[in-house]
Structure 1
Amino acid sequence: MALLLVATAAASQPSASITFQSPSQGWNVFATPHPLPFGATAAVHFNVDRLTQCRGNLNASTPGWTLTGYYQFNGGPVQSFWVAGFSSTPNPPAPAIPLHTRGTLAVWFENTNRWGCQAWDSNFGSNHLFTVQ
């Protein structure tokens, strides 16, 4: 019975996603739906071809780089999430942002590697902005 209640509660929450397309797709960025629904969790779909600087592997198979996403509601505290590459957490969760605050959501990405390289994906120097209602 408890399993049924959990499944029902999860199904009743609105779904949302934020997509960051590759250069071959025109660098498009969009949220579905728009505006994003307060109380949902937005799945983040980031095409890693957007940020290819600072790559490199260790022993030919282990990533020596990490792609991290950051988000901020209304200029408040910055939160982060793993997107791709090396993770110190085995089986990290899929990239997502809990939409627990109404207003402006800023999102940006950073790629770093173990050799000190750092690169950013933002909206031409500004963060990608979305509305949560």
Structure 2
Amino acid sequence: MPRQSPRWCLAAAVAVLLAGTAASSQSSSSITFQSPAQGWNVFASSNPLPFGSTAAIHYSVDRLTQCRGNINGTTPGWTMTGYYQFNDGPVQRFWVAGFSSTPNPPAPSIPLNTRGTLAIWFENTSRWGCQAWDSNFGNNHVFTVQ
């Protein structure tokens, strides 16, 4: 059997390492916010969440039922919005449920592109001026990204 040169073996090892790094940086994560019937549990797919992945947000709209109502019986007159913040920086937001002015809005997710503390909270508003919040008893839901 022919012997491989050390240079070829090193190149192959680097290629495998780079492929693994690219795959892990594009991996997905999730954060689940369960309904009251499921015990109000909140959990992440891993702790800490992996830096470089995207966290799918699985939010049970049964957690925040205030401020509901439909227009003409079918169109939601309410919107649920998620908010997130890394390390007390700028607040970002994403659509969760209800009315959206964007046709076919994307599924809720957060790009985990910053290491440190990730805070998440939710707001439900209606066209009639109602506003309700889902946070952890007045504190935002907090996760670590590494």
TM value normalised by structure 1: 0.91
Question: 2:57: which partner in 1?
Answer: 44
Moved over 2 A (4+): none
Question: 2:47: which partner in 1?
Answer: 34
Alignment equivalent of 2:68, drawn from 44, 55, 61: 55
Question: 1:99: which partner in 2?
Answer: 112
2:84 counterpart letter in structure 1: Y
Deviation at 1:14, TM superposition (A): 2.0
Once residues 15 and 85 of structure 1 are traced to their aligned partners in structure 2, the CA distance between those partners, rounded to angstroms, is: 25
Q: Which has the higher strand share?
A: 1
CA shift digits 1:83-102 (9 cap, x unpaired): 00000000000000000000
Deviation at 1:33, TM superposition (A): 1.3
Larger radius of gyration: 2
Alignment equivalent of 1:22, drawn from 24, 30, 35: 35
Gaps of 5+ in 1: 1-7
Pairwise CA RMSD: 1.4
Once residues 34 and 116 of structure 1 are traced to their aligned partners in structure 2, the CA distance between those partners, rounded to angstroms, is: 37
Q: Which has the higher helix share?
A: 2
TM value normalised by structure 2: 0.83
Alignment equivalent of 2:89, drawn from 76, 97, 107: 76
Tell me how many residue pairs correspond in the alignment: 125
Aligned sequence identity (%): 80
Question: 1:5: which partner in 2?
Answer: none
Deviation at 1:39, TM superposition (A): 0.3
Gaps of 5+ in 2: 1-18
Deviation at 1:15, TM superposition (A): 1.5
